[in-house]
Structure 1
Amino acid sequence: MSNTPSLTANLRSDLPAALVVFFVALPLCLGIALASGAPAFSGLIAGIIGGIVVGALSGSQIGVSGPAAGLAAIVLTAIGSLGFENFLVAVVLGGLIQVGFGLLRAGVIGYYFPSSVIKGMLTGIGLIIILKQIPHFLGYDADYEGDQSFWQVDGENTFTEIINALGNPSVGATTVGFIALGILLLWSNVLSNKGKIFTLIQGPLVAVAAGILYYVLTQGNPTWGVAPEHLVRVPVPKSFDDFLGQFTFPNFGAITNPTIWVTAFTIALVASLETLLCVEATDKLDPAQRVTPTNRELIAQGSGNILSGLIGGLPITQVIVRSSANIQSGGKTKMAAIIHGVFLLLSVIAVPTLLNKIPLAVLAAVLLIVGYKLANPATVSAIYRSGWKQFGPYIVTVLAIVFTDLLTGIALGLVVAIIIILYKSYQNSHFLHRVDSDDAAGRHHVQMQLAEEVTFFNKAAILRELDGLPEGAILELDVRKTRYLDYDIVEILENFATKARDRGIDIEIIAVGKRVMNPPSYMKFFDLAPAVEGH
């Protein structure tokens, strides 16, 4: 029997969650498009396709896809050098390459990232959301929504932007931001336990409605009003033909341009990696602990990018901000992602003017709550208590994401995790047991037991122990548990055999069913030992 929930059985949970994700995704779609140097409508196209198409094809029940901030710098450079219509060809080709990755089962790459790095990614993203939304919360919108890099498009960095915002806040935007934040906290901490109505109607919807009402009532007031630049800005077509005119189509005549192919591979690689990382992180957040089929996810993402590129949209990835908002709002199945895409589609067709009355500070308040839940201090404390092997890669990932960008932060965290693995491998390549009492002849007995796998990473540790043996000792080398012995280690043992004779050290090798004293050749012995293979 399948454990996959019915797509319609959880609409009571999925519908409110979809609404929250819609409010989170709307400004991000627009902001990422602007940060990418693309038309604002292209971000909405990517959000709609990411919700409806990718949501339907994906095997993830709670992941949400759309335009990704991590690709903004790549897209900005590509559009500048290729032009937008030629860039769309690269998006289509990138999608085809992603489908190829999925068919070649490349999704397994996502499982090779340590848990500490993935948890660091979640906390880092949470801190980035908080830090990046403070200026929007205060009505200082010099930088685009969705710009997650430390060094921003406007020449500032994350912290100087906050300082500028604190020095030049908008009274109206800040006021409505605090009103929205108060509603959200009241709803989640108090009212949600008071009755079913408060779970059916989500706090973010009430906060957005209050924000629109505040804007309408204070419009024109120089002190308490919210200026137009602090509002959502969705393109408003004047006619149906004007609406259709917002779609752009790729120029396939430029497909032989080598730069387009380089861009396509870059988009495919970065988008696939970011998607796989987000899938891994989202699965960890899923209360039901479901596991997303990663190869199917790559095929779904690639299909979405093909369609997005064909009609003028930005590249798509699974996005942790939207996905975590979905989980925190109670989304149960992929219907939440699909419905959020439908909401985006209907809103840009039917009510763009109403959307343009939503203060960005209200949506910033929604994202501040999302960010805090991702960067929960209790999580940081728990990982700290788990020891330095977990906390080291975790904290490096967090800090690197805050001070660089998402992919750089993950790469640095992964490097630290690998270094720790190598260090522990260096420590644990073998077990050394020394017998305290000497035999009748006064000779030291030393037993060295090699691990199951011994590679060139362990050379330094083994050399150190062999060189530290006292003259005239008896060494018992136990390889009964060893299944793989690197040629480099055999070479070390060969060289030590010569030195041992000069130092009066006798060597006894113990294998499964064998006990050989002072073998003339380690290589010959290990070739005959059935317990050791692969050297």
Structure 2
Amino acid sequence: MTQDNPQFRQAVVDRTPGIGLGVGRGGDPSHSDHRGYAAPDRSTARFPGRHRPRDRRTPVTVGTVVQDFLASIVVFLVALPLCIGVAVASGVSPEVGVITGIVGGIVAGMLPGSSLQVSGPAAGLTVLVFGAVQEYGVGALGAIVLGAGIVQIVMGICRIGRWFQAITLSVVQGMLAGIGLLILVGQLYPLADRKAPGQALANLAGIPELVSTVAGDRRYATAAVLGIAGLLIIVCWKYTPKFLRKVPGPLAAVVVVASLVAVFDLPVNKLTVGSLLDAVSLPTAGIFTDLADPGLVGMIFAFALIASAESLFSASAVDRMHTGPRTNYNVELVAQGAGNAASGLLGALPMTAVIVRSAANVHAGARTKLSRILHGVWMLLFVLAAPGLLSLIPITVLAAILVHSGWKLLNPMQFRAMRRQNVGEAVIAYLTTAAIIATDLLEGVVIGMVATMVKLAWSMSHMSMSVDRQEEWTVLRLTGSATFLRLPNLLEKLESLSGSHVHVDLSRVFHLDIAARSAIETWAGRCRTEGTAVRVTLPHGADPDFAPLDAH
């Protein structure tokens, strides 16, 4: 799978946490092909309407600064509710998510990499973060994020970035769907001001009881109705007049629901927001001791791998939205690692490149990295100047934002498209999703990768045989890979051939190992000794040493 694979790129756009833009070429759904995948880009000259970012060597002008300033405001409005929602879903205070958003904008934003990509806390990591907080405590979160950042920097320096494109699409889709399902099911509870039982299977099993509780309690029912109203606003916002769509849907949902709660004094849970400075947890000597804990090593690598995958998949999607310089994956990994290291030193959440913010940045007309830096500045100024506004936000509307993100990650239509094209790949995607639900995110992805290897081994060893008995010749046709794994069946089939003229057709064999070759040579030599005419059609490009088989 490569960056030029249209299936890969559309899957990234449709399945990356926080989006469902459904864009094809240049962010326009009309340019997707009939399968729902984006068509490959043929010529930038044919799409004059596509955004063209400033070339990196072009000096900054007043025009680019103005465009970046306006774009940064849009990105800030998109990012703020997401930062808060992700933090709450991760089991930490809202201001911790805001700190991560600030670091993602200012620190990661200043570094080289994809200049139009915007980083911050992502919904796709909430499952990992929540599990880490429950197992190791909030105090260990900074050490884990710092360690993950260091791992990302090392991977970038070692040029491992491009290898993330080799991850099979079925595992990527299964992973994102699993994350989406975990988020969706887990956030149904705070949508009704209830606390989730905890583990994925327990959350699923508790849904009937949740429905019963909400139906019998007016307070919980009020929260659920407000949450559903917020969800409907987000889903339907794209159908509102164009001037209204300048306000992001999630922000509109927050404003409307918070206003209803304030006006009617509705009894629902709201955010409890502390001081931003109090949320900063500066490093101590103990943080380096934590990094040496063997129990945290697996968690650190899980954070690093999942965050890197999400960031690089997002970079591929953002590259589809403009005609400027392509992302250097290794440089982007270093930038993301530096951002996570800084976030970890502050005791904040891990960050990734987030496609919903990046897409908003591109579509708002951003030209340089200044827009993403400024969005972090606006976030910092907002929480310092007006932190009290955050305490007016109901928990239920933040859950609605994440339920929407979870559904976009789940995206059943992608499974349907994959099932039509390749049932085997679809099975791996389903298996990966189910494994994530049954175990955890890291183990589920590993199970998906193992299943991919098994499928690949089966494909490489699969061989079909057919016998065509003609008037003079008996023809045995082999298709696929003739290896030692299929040797018993091959020998049985060869021994069953009868007639004075036998033709073994290997023209459709794409791999012939030495064991199968030796077996055919031995059988052919014995048959010729017994007076049977044997003809062998060699595979395309076969070793000349194999020619004696076709000599008679």
TM-score (norm 1): 0.72
Deviation at 1:301, TM superposition (A): 2.3
Deviation at 1:19, TM superposition (A): 1.7
Root-mean-square deviation (CA), in Å?
4.4
Distance 2:231 2:180 in 1: 17
Residues 163 and 310 (structure 1 numbering): CA distance in 2 closer, same or farther, change over 3 Å?
Answer: same
Q: Which residue of 1 aligns with 2:151?
A: 97
Q: Is the 8 A contact 2:145 2:341 kept in 1?
A: yes
Question: Matched residues, percent identical?
Answer: 23
Q: Which residue of 1 aligns with 2:355?
A: 323
Distance 1:125 1:90 in 2: 20
Q: Which residue of 1 aligns with 2:86?
A: 28
Find the residue that maps to 1:356 and give its secondary structure.
helix
Find the residue that maps to 1:176 and give its secondary structure.
helix
Question: Are 2:298 and 1:266 aligned?
Answer: yes
Residues 180 and 258 (structure 1 numbering): CA distance in 2 closer, same or farther, change over 3 Å?
Answer: closer
Distance 1:504 1:317 in 2: 74
Q: Which residue of 1 aligns with 2:393?
A: 358
Question: Are 2:279 and 1:235 aligned?
Answer: no
Pick one of 136, 142, 145 that aligns with 2:190.
Answer: 136
Residues 462 and 45 (structure 1 numbering): CA distance in 2 closer, same or farther, change over 3 Å?
Answer: farther
**Number of residue pairs the alignment of both structures matches:** 478
Find the residue that maps to 1:392 and give its secondary structure.
helix
What code does the residue aligned with 1:25 have?
A: C
Pick one of 498, 502, 507 that aligns with 1:474.
Answer: 502
Question: Are 2:173 and 1:115 aligned?
Answer: no
Q: Is the 8 A contact 1:26 1:344 kept in 2?
A: no
Cα deviation, 1:414-444, whole Å, max 9, x if unaligned, reads: 44444444444344x57x57553233xxx52
Q: Is the 8 A contact 2:83 2:120 kept in 1?
A: no
Question: Are 2:467 and 1:446 aligned?
Answer: no
Pick one of 231, 247, 252 that aligns with 1:201.
Answer: 247
Find the residue that maps to 2:81 and give its secondary structure.
helix
Pick one of 129, 132, 147 that aligns with 1:72.
Answer: 129
Q: Is the 8 A contact 1:60 1:293 kept in 2?
A: no
What code does the residue aligned with 2:469 have?
A: D
Pick one of 420, 423, 429 that aligns with 1:388.
Answer: 423
Residues 20 and 469 (structure 1 numbering): CA distance in 2 closer, same or farther, change over 3 Å?
Answer: farther
Deviation at 1:274, TM superposition (A): 0.8
Distance 2:272 2:332 in 1: 31
Deviation at 1:111, TM superposition (A): 1.9
Find the residue that maps to 1:99 and give its secondary structure.
helix
Deviation at 1:276, TM superposition (A): 4.1
Cα deviation, 1:382-441, whole Å, max 9, x if unaligned, reads: 3333342343223333444444443344334444444444444344x57x57553233xx
1:391-406 equivalences under 5 Å are 391-406=426-441
Distance 1:474 1:308 in 2: 71
Q: Which residue of 2 aligns with 1:212?
A: 258
Q: Is the 8 A contact 1:454 1:485 kept in 2?
A: yes
Pick one of 114, 123, 131 that aligns with 1:59.
Answer: 114
Distance 2:300 2:128 in 1: 10
1:37-52 equivalences under 5 Å are 42-52=96-106
Q: Is the 8 A contact 2:233 2:253 kept in 1?
A: yes
Question: Are 2:293 and 1:247 aligned?
Answer: no
Deviation at 1:167, TM superposition (A): 0.9
TM-score (norm 2): 0.70
Cα deviation, 1:71-123, whole Å, max 9, x if unaligned, reads: 3366347745xx937x7456434422321111112223322222233233344
Distance 1:468 1:352 in 2: 83
Q: Is the 8 A contact 1:234 1:348 kept in 2?
A: no
Residues 372 and 330 (structure 1 numbering): CA distance in 2 closer, same or farther, change over 3 Å?
Answer: farther
Q: Give ranges in structure 1 of 5+ residues lacking alignment.
A: 238-242, 516-522, 530-535
Residues 125 and 92 (structure 1 numbering): CA distance in 2 closer, same or farther, change over 3 Å?
Answer: closer
Residues 114 and 262 (structure 1 numbering): CA distance in 2 closer, same or farther, change over 3 Å?
Answer: same
What code does the residue aligned with 1:247 have?
A: V
Deviation at 1:236, TM superposition (A): 2.9
Pick one of 165, 170, 180 that aligns with 2:230.
Answer: 180
Find the residue that maps to 1:59 and give its secondary structure.
coil
Cα deviation, 1:466-493, whole Å, max 9, x if unaligned, reads: 45534755244647986x6544444544
Deviation at 1:286, TM superposition (A): 5.2
Residues 268 and 501 (structure 1 numbering): CA distance in 2 closer, same or farther, change over 3 Å?
Answer: farther
Find the residue that maps to 2:121 and give its secondary structure.
strand
Deviation at 1:328, TM superposition (A): 7.9
Q: Which residue of 2 aligns with 1:5?
A: 53
Distance 2:130 2:224 in 1: 30
Q: Which residue of 1 aligns with 2:329?
A: 294
Residues 198 and 89 (structure 1 numbering): CA distance in 2 closer, same or farther, change over 3 Å?
Answer: closer
Q: Is the 8 A contact 1:394 1:413 kept in 2?
A: yes
What code does the residue aligned with 2:339 have?
A: G
What code does the residue aligned with 2:128 have?
A: L
Q: Is the 8 A contact 2:104 2:118 kept in 1?
A: no
Cα deviation, 1:119-175, whole Å, max 9, x if unaligned, reads: 3334444443332222222222x149xx7x515xxxx42341563255145244234
What code does the residue aligned with 1:84 have?
A: G
Distance 1:30 1:65 in 2: 14
Residues 213 and 396 (structure 1 numbering): CA distance in 2 closer, same or farther, change over 3 Å?
Answer: same
Q: Give ranges in structure 2 of 5+ residues lacking alignment.
A: 1-42, 45-50, 55-63
Q: Which residue of 1 aligns with 2:267?
A: 225
Find the residue that maps to 1:205 and give its secondary structure.
helix
